[in-house]
Amino acid sequence: MAFPAMAFPAMAVIAQAVNGIMMGAVYALFAVGMVLVFGVMRVLNFAHGAVFMAGGYLCWFAMAHVSPIYPVALLFSTAGGAAIGLVLERLVFRRLRENLSMQIVASLGLILMAQNGVLLLFGADALQIEAPSLRRVLRLGELGFTVQHLVILAAVAVAVASLHVFLSRSRLGIAMRAASQDIQAARVVGIAPDRVFAITFALSGALAALGGALLGPLFLVFPGMGDLPLLKGLTAIVLGGMGSVWGAVLGGLAIGLLEAEATLFAPTDYRDLVVFAALIATLLLRPRGLFGTAIRGEP
């Protein structure tokens, strides 16, 4: 099939789609964790990017000092992220549930602490996760992509599918949705809110750290590696409608695709402009986002 105007060769469009879906999957994973916490607790955790970054460092540490097997390092990072989530909920966000401005202040403080803590522990140089097999390039005709592209897509698909099954089938998952819809009703049926909030934050932290551990081998591990996913993940949440897990997933994928394809018709530096212009246009046409409903969100 020939493109009408040959300005974008079809192969380049497809190659950028592969890149875009891969980055979009990472944004989606990031956004899902954030939207989960927002949906259940009405807490906006801007330190979610710091947990993502911690996932990258945990993965580097696991590969270097625990086990050179990447799946083991992924599990290690994910478990570490869950633990970080638990600590953040217990020590910080449990006290700030009703207070959005203090959540933002606390998040910024946490980001500073995390980034400087990492500088202290690991130094200012970006770290490379030693996994040459993940960076091996696969060829599909003219198309080339790394093994890690596939690993990311598979891991995100498994994580999102597992989350979906958890939220729709399991006792605790349904209780999380119940608490997000009516916290008082949850209390009268015996769901202890504090427990639900702890589980929500653990899950959210696990997903963020998994994201960092997935992106680490492709890019480098450095203190600011969570900033970009934070920006794009937030955009994905707003684009998706500030509500559902699926909105966040599709919003993340849409942003990844859009920014990758944007590099074909605009200078690379303009891709954020394209993404945010698309966000503004979407919100002008659909103030609730692409998949939002009039009702305030639930996961």
Q: How far is the CB of 175 from another protein (least distance, A)?
A: 6
Output 191 or 242, the one with its CB closest to another protein: 191
Q: How far is the CB of 47 from another protein (least distance, A)?
A: 28
Output 42 or 177, the one with its CB closest to another protein: 177
Output 38 or 70, the one with its CB closest to another protein: 38
Output 63 or 186, the one with its CB closest to another protein: 186
Q: How far is the CB of 119 from another protein (least distance, A)?
A: 43
Q: How far is the CB of 189 from another protein (least distance, A)?
A: 5
Binding site for another protein (CB under 8 A): 171, 174-175, 177-178, 181-182, 184-192, 295, 298
Q: How far is the CB of 298 from another protein (least distance, A)?
A: 6
Between the two ends of the chain, the Cα-to-Cα distance in Å is 40
Output 205 or 292, the one with its CB closest to another protein: 292
